[in-house]
Amino acid sequence: MDEPGKLSVEPVSPALGAEIFGVDLEAAAGKPEQIAAIRRALLKHKVLFFRDQDISAGAQVAFARSFGELEVHPVLRHHPEHGELVLLDRGSRRAANENIYHADTTWREKPSMGSILRCVECPPVGGDTIWANMALAYERLPERVKTICEELYATHDIGHSFGGDLSVEKRRALSKEFPPQEHPVVAVHPETGESILYVNQGFTTHFTNYTQKRERNLGADFALEANKLMSYLMSQATHPEFQVRLRWKPNTIAFWDNRATQHYAVQDYYPAVRRMVRATVVGGKVQGLPDRQGRGEGIFMDVAAAAGGGS
């Protein structure tokens, strides 16, 4: 007899990602052993792929809810019967703009734990999604860059990506409802304990405490150094060594750990149509590294030199 909840797991990249076999997601919500096995696989591989899952919208909601409370997105279109599902209908009206490395909803005080994205329709070629392992990205940073980052915080703002198409008044209202949030640059995963590089192109705007630990010279120096460091850190998600890439087919589902990954939706298919449905699991407050008061004195240095060791 098969072990309850046992899955067939096939890794698809050394960095992250695994294809899951032997599960029907239409009925998985009623099988706690299987849900527990999927969670274990998610923590290990960070993004999971399920093929040939012709499931209903209600089943997608039920499966996602097995991992926690679901969020309702304040900007994106919703399913008419299930407000927890976001409809991503791209290509029919204009080219999509998700082709930027990001983690979802880091503009929230409690960013999402993970997302379950289902492909309804996609072009025969194009529209892939790339995920990056941000624990591995942090691990591979030069030690001197890690030292710079370990006490830094950064601001994440919903308007950075979602405000661009709004009027000034609507941007102000959005910012008032969802004020910018400050998160540690190095986050600690609440379940695995891994250190995660936690800045992204989609929502991170600037460091909030960059000038605290450095002798003052010219104010302009701080801005230039901070911008160089932010660009360097954001570039880590773009390295193929930290990535996995999925070629979508209808009824493919991807489930990723939003706390440990970033993703990029490749925009190479317009004007072809790509229709996706996403459920997002609510997460918790982002935790940083343990307090290291006193270790940061004098840690800042020329960022170009600090980054020169590569990754």
- 297 located within any domain: yes
CATH code: domain of residue 215: 3.60.130.10
- 204 located within any domain: yes
Decide if 245 is catalytic.
no
Catalytic annotation, pick one of 90, 104, 108, 257: 104
- 189 located within any domain: yes
Residue 245 pLDDT: 98
Decide if 278 is catalytic.
yes
- 242 located within any domain: no
Decide if 82 is catalytic.
no
For 57-66, what is the mean pLDDT?
A: 97
User: In which domain, by residue range, is 148 found?
Assistant: 134-237+288-309
What are the pLDDT digits (tens) for 137-166?
Answer: 999 999 999 999 999 999 999 877 665 665
- 168 located within any domain: yes
Distances (CA, A) of 1 to 27, 38, 205: 20, 20, 53
* Residue 123: count of CB within 10 angstroms of its CB: 15
Catalytic annotation, pick one of 45, 102, 189, 259: 102
- 19 located within any domain: no
For 70-92, what is the mean pLDDT?
A: 84
For 105-128, what is the mean pLDDT?
A: 96
pLDDT band of residue 34 (cuts 50, 70, 90) is: very high
Residue 166 pLDDT: 58
- Indicate the number of domains in the chain: 1
What are the pLDDT digits (tens) for 94-115?
Answer: 777 778 999 999 999 999 999 9
Does the pLDDT value for residue 37 go beyond 50? yes
Q: Is 121 within 8 Å of 294 (Cβ atoms)?
A: no
Catalytic annotation, pick one of 45, 90, 263, 274: 263
Catalytic annotation, pick one of 90, 160, 189, 278: 278
Rounded to an integer, what distance in angstroms lies between the CA atom of residue 91 and that of residue 111? 28
Residue 283 pLDDT: 97
- 94 located within any domain: no
What are the pLDDT digits (tens) for 266-305?
Answer: 999 988 999 999 999 999 999 999 875 433 333 333 443 4
Residue in this structure with the two tokens 């002798």, named with its chain if needed: 215
- 53 located within any domain: no
Decide if 189 is catalytic.
no
